[in-house]
Amino acid sequence: MPTMSEDTGTGRDRRPVLQPIANLGNFGLEAMDIIQYKGNTPKGWAKQASAAVEAAKQQGGRTEIMVVSAVEKLVNKATGKQ
């Protein structure tokens, strides 16, 4: 089975859909660290994280799974928006 990085039609077709979800996951992990360790968000982080949430929302369909709203809540909590 080819990997996502191999040059196949199938892999290339999936990357645009999967990238926003991968970015969202990264911001979710960072938000959990910020919350857990009561740290400050790095400069520009809130704007980037919010943009990642919005990009994932734009995917619609099956990517609008509960993960998007859950990460959005984490980002809001990490930035003090709760």
* pLDDT tens sequence across 28-44: 999 999 999 988 889 99
In terms of pTM, does the model score above 0.85?
no
* pLDDT tens sequence across 37-69: 988 889 999 999 999 998 888 776 555 567 888
Greatest Cα-to-Cα distance within the chain, rounded to the nearest angstrom? 44
Cβ–Cβ under 8 Å, residues 5 and 11: yes
> Who has greater pLDDT, 31 or 12?
31
Residues 6 or more apart whose Cβ sits within 8 Å of residue 17? 59, 63
